[in-house]
């Protein structure tokens, strides 16, 4: 199969779906003329024109609310929130108007919008936030977290077609990841985890940039005779609990890795789900979480590295579950 | 090492500025330009562990606006108001340490130099959320008013920030509460990659002052003396308890939005037009005409700045990076371990 970058895979999914469905439109800062500050929407203005690919002023709250209104009227807006920290500026329209419209209309209306939210974790305390747990906490929002080019394409298309608001999380560090991606238009399913690597000793659940970190850790541990199973849930809402339970039933050990802050992070929800299931009796070690220990993400590179979880942190956590 | 001190004499407009003051303005702008050039060299050598937004071309705004602020006044810089730092008294060494995330830096590398605060010099750390400083400045000014002191808040922001609800809400609040704040818009005709005209349906952001019943004025942002005068008037009004003013300084950034941008799509003719309106040359010519500064004097200033940059950079390079442990401090007043989870 042809191989492309994850960035190009998202772009291809967007473009193919826009050709198929003319209600899909793109809204955001620097997305039209410039092609996106991180280059995802390059060429979209040229192909789809300024009515469907619209540069916005610096008005995140305004255009998020606008997208909610347009989605209620049947458009399928895909808005780009440049960097994840900017979600905070648009929380009211997203959380209040967007996520609740179906509920308060008791199903008579819905908000088929997508919020593309690129994690840029090597930036600063403001922009470099991983806020997927905030949205997972909001009834009405779905949360999608692809880590491979094929998933990114299939899931962006599925997100656009989904009838409800979707937070589609991207990761700057993954944009250049190359992998096989079908050329035709396709969707990837929500709520279906993928086993990235099979193993029998320890289960590691990771998403976004934590997936390559977990995979690299698993590779190194394999050389030491430790067999790690890496599970990528691909979507956090809906979540494939069964895939995690199946794996932990086998391994008896669980490590959860994410770049978001540990306290209140989505890892806690997964740990609680496992602890509340019959699999709890199969656990041979306490559940480990590898995450930001609870600080804002610092700017200077050397501090930034110290805060964000990496391969070595995963290796250490896996070894703790093995008592070594 | 020179640290600029606040001026002791009373407020005055440009005609009352002595030759020394004019030369000082020139030095501050030139220092800003040469510092930016040095920092960009470091960036090109991949030696900058932090990001930056070059202010080249816009030096007159920060220098003119902050030149005669007093101790107790507060400045809230934008991402590009580098010159507010020099003019308020931050030293070159402090800036280099901040830009390197060094042990001795103001925030140990937690934030970039342009979002750093120096509370002892009356500078609040800016947020990377464009425009967030606008309502915050209103709060600073409100507190000043409540304390019944005659200080002011000066809030800088770009044309892009004027698209934010924070701009509109902030100006509305400032006017309603009649607080001592001066809003200084650095309209450099672009927000990141997009021309200002795409982001706003009007030519002059200053026109928006009318909606909030405050004076609004377009200022030539390349002329440091025009900026100085306009800010002096607005500051006097604020100190007298007459409320806020919106100043729109028309300016231009000579360089890209930040060093690692993929492209700069601005028309070369436009860049050429504006680089002819270099704020440093404009004041330089004025000084020459007045007989306050000749070629030899300019060379001496250049040499002094070059030496200061060299010395400070050398000292900065001999300083270790901030210890990574510092990344985990000052989240709260207590250590993060005290949070129980
Ligand atoms: C609320 C918000 N949206 C988007 C961004 C990303 N961003 C950083 S700088 C910038 C442009 C700012 O333009 P302007 O206010 O005109 O200042 P300039 O860079 O031109 O000095 C943007 C969009 C941001 N930092 N904050
Ligand atoms: Mg601007």
User: Which residues of B are less than 8 Å from A295 in CB distance?
Assistant: 327-328, 331, 336
The pLDDT value recorded for residue A118 is 97
**Torsion angle (degrees, nearest 10) of CA B26, B29, B31, B34:** -120
Contact A299 B341 (CB under 8 A): no
User: Which residues of A are less than 8 Å from B331 in CB distance?
Assistant: 294-296
pLDDT by residue (tens digit) across B187-227? 999 999 999 999 999 999 999 999 999 999 999 999 999 99
Q: Shortest CB distance from B336 goes to which of A33, A293, A306? A: A293
> ∠ CA(B124), CA(B78), CA(A115), 5° rounding?
110
User: Which residues of B are less than 8 Å from A291 in CB distance?
Assistant: none
What's the topology of domain A3-180? Rossmann fold (3.40.50)
Residue B107 burial by Cβ neighbours in a 10 Å radius (0-12, 13-18, 19+): buried
> ∠ CA(B185), CA(B186), CA(B189), 5° rounding?
115
* B324: CB partners within 8 A, 6+ apart: A302, A303, A305, A306
Contact B193 A37 (CB under 8 A): yes
User: Which residues of A are less than 8 Å from B192 in CB distance?
Assistant: 29-30, 34, 37
Taking the CA of residue A205 and the nearest CA in chain B, the distance in Å comes to 21
Strand-pair category, A178-180 with A3-5: antiparallel
Is it the case that residue B10 has pLDDT exceeding 80? no
> What is the number of residues in chain A?
324
Positive or negative, the CA dihedral A217, A218, A221, A223 is negative
Whether B326 and chain A come into contact, CB under 8 Å, resolves to: yes
The pLDDT value recorded for residue A175 is 98
Low-confidence ranges of chain A (pLDDT < 70): none
Domains defined for chain B, CATH in brackets:
2-339 (3.40.50.970)
Instruction: Categorize the per-residue pLDDT at B11 as very low, low, confident or very high, splitting at 50, 70 and 90.
Output: low
The pLDDT value recorded for residue A104 is 96
Strand-pair category, A254-261 with A202-206: parallel
Q: Which chain B residue has its CA at the smallest distance from A60's CA?
A: B164
CA of A204 to the centre of ligand 2 (A): 45
Question: In terms of DSSP H, where are the helices of A78-232?
Answer: 91, 99-104, 132-136, 149-161, 210-223
Is it the case that residue B262 has pLDDT exceeding 90? no
Helix (H, G, I), strand (E, B) or coil at B190: strand
Specify the DSSP element, H or E, that contains A314: helix A311-321
CA of B15 to the centre of ligand 1 (A): 36
First vs last Cα of chain B: how many Å apart? 46
Strands (E) in chain A, as ranges, are: 3-5, 24-28, 53-55, 76-80, 114-119, 142-144, 166-171, 178-180, 194-197, 202-206, 228-232, 235-237, 254-261, 288-292
Position in ligand 1 atom list of the atom nearest CA B79: 21
The pLDDT value recorded for residue A172 is 97
Question: In terms of DSSP H, where are the helices of chain B?
Answer: 19-44, 59-66, 82-88, 92-100, 133-146, 165-177, 196-199, 224-239, 268-275, 279-289, 295-317
Mean pLDDT throughout B255-264?
Answer: 88
- Which of A58, A61, A64, when mutated, tests ligand 1's pocket best, judged by the most ligand atoms within 8 Å of its CB? A58
pLDDT by residue (tens digit) across A92-124? 999 999 999 999 999 999 999 999 999 999 999
pLDDT by residue (tens digit) across B32-87? 999 999 999 999 998 887 778 999 999 999 999 999 999 999 999 999 999 999 99
Residue extent(s) of CATH 3.40.50.920 domains in chain A: 194-321
Question: What angle, 0 to 180 degrees and rounded to 10, lies between the N-to-C axes of helices A210-223 and A311-321?
Answer: 60
Q: Within a 10 A sphere around the Cβ of B278, how many other Cβ atoms?
A: 19
Contact B101 A123 (CB under 8 A): no
The pLDDT value recorded for residue A301 is 87
Ligand nearest to the CA of B114: 1
CB–CB of B130/B79 below 8 Å?
yes
The pLDDT value recorded for residue A35 is 97
String of DSSP letters for B291-310: TS--HHHHHHHHHHHHHHHH
Q: Shortest CB distance from B163 goes to which of A57, A86, A124? A: A57
What is the percentage of chain B residues whose pLDDT exceeds 90? Answer: 87
Residues forming a β-bridge with B76: B155
Residues forming a β-bridge with B246: B183, B216
Tell whether ligand 1 has an atom less than 6 A from the beta carbon of residue B61. no
What's the topology of domain A194-321? Rossmann fold (3.40.50)
Contact A57 B129 (CB under 8 A): no
CB–CB of B58/B80 below 8 Å?
yes
Predicted TM-score of the model (pTM): 0.95
Residue extent(s) of CATH 3.40.50.970 domains in chain A: 3-180
- Which of B61, B187, B191, B248, when mutated, tests ligand 1's pocket best, judged by the most ligand atoms within 8 Å of its CB? B191
Taking the CA of residue A172 and the nearest CA in chain B, the distance in Å comes to 14
Q: What is the distance between the alpha carbons of residues A98 and A113, in angstroms, rounded to a whole number?
A: 8
Ligand nearest to the CA of B51: 1
Contact A305 B324 (CB under 8 A): yes
The pLDDT value recorded for residue B218 is 98
């Amino acid at each position: 199969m042809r191989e492309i970058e994850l960035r190009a895979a998202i772009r291809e999914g967007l473009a193919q779906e826009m050709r198929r469905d003319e209600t899909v439109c793109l809204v955001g800062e620097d997305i039209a003329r410039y092609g996106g500050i991180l280059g995802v929407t390059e060429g979209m203005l040229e192909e789809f024109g300024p009515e469907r690919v619209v540069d916005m002023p610096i008005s995140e709250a305004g255009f998020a609310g606008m997208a909610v209104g347009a989605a209620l009227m049947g458009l399928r807006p895909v808005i780009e929130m440049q960097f994840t920290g900017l979600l905070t500026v648009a929380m009211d329209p997203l959380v209040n108007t967007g996520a609740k419209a179906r509920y308060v209309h008791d199903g008579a209306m819905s908000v088929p919008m997508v919020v593309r939210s690129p994690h840029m974790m090597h930036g600063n305390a403001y922009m470099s936030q991983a806020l997927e747990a905030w949205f997972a906490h909001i009834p009405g929002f779905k949360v999608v977290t692809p880590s491979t080019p094929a998933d990114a394409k299939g899931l962006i298309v599925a997100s656009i077609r989904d009838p409800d608001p979707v937070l589609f999380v991207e990761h700057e560090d993954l944009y250049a990841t190359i992998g096989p991606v079908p050329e035709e238009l396709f969707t990837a399913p929500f709520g279906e985890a993928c086993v990235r690597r099979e193993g029998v000793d320890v289960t590691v659940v990771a998403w976004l940039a934590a997936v390559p970190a977990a995979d690299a850790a698993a590779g190194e541990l394999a050389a030491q005779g430790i067999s790690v199973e890496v599970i990528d849930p691909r979507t956090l809402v809906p979540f494939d609990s069964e895939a995690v339970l199946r794996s932990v039933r086998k391994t008896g050990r669980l490590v959860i890795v994410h770049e978001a802050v540990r306290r209140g992070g989505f890892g806690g929800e997964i740990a609680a789900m496992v602890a509340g299931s019959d699999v709890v009796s199969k656990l041979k070690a306490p559940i480990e979480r590898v995450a930001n220990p609870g600080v804002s993400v610092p700017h200077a590179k050397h501090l930034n590295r110290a805060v964000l979880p990496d391969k070595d942190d995963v290796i250490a956590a896996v070894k703790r579950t093995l008592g070594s | 090492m020179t640290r600029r001190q606040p001026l002791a004499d009373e407020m005055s407009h440009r005609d009352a500025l002595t030759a020394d003051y004019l030369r000082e303005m020139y030095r501050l702008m030139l220092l800003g330009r040469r510092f930016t050039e040095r920092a960009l060299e470091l960036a090109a050598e991949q030696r900058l562990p932090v990001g930056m937004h070059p202010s080249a071309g816009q030096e007159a705004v920060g220098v003119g606006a902050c030149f005669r602020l007093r101790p107790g006044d507060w400045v809230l810089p934008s991402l590009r108001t580098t010159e507010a730092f020099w003019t308020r008294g931050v030293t070159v060494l402090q800036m280099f340490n901040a830009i390197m995330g060094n042990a001795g830096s103001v925030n140990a590398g937690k934030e970039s130099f342009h979002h750093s605060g120096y509370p002892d010099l009356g500078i609040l750390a800016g947020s990377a959320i464009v425009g967030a400083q606008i309502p915050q400045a209103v709060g600073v000014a409100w507190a000043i008013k409540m304390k019944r002191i005659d200080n002011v808040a000066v809030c800088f922001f770009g044309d892009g920030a004027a698209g934010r609800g924070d701009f509109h809400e902030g100006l509305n609040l400032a006017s309603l509460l009649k607080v001592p704040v001066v809003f200084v818009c650095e309209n450099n005709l672009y927000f990141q990659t997009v021309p200002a005209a795409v982001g706003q349906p009007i030519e002059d952001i200053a026109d928006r002052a009318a909606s909030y019943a405050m004076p609004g004025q377009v200022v030539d942002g390349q002329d440091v003396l025009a900026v100085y005068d306009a800010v002096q008037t607005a500051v006097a009004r604020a100190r007298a308890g007459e409320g806020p003013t919106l100043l729109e300084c028309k300016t231009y950034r000579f360089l890209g939005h930040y060093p690692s941008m993929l492209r700069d799509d601005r028309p070369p003719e436009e860049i050429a037009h504006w680089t002819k309106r270099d704020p440093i040359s404009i004041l330089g010519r004025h000084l020459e005409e007045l007989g306050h500064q000749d070629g030899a004097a300019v060379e001496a200033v250049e040499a002094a700045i070059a030496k200061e940059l060299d010395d400070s950079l050398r000292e900065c390079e001999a300083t270790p990076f901030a210890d990574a442990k510092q990344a985990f401090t000052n989240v709260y007043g207590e250590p993060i371990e005290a949070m129980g989870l």
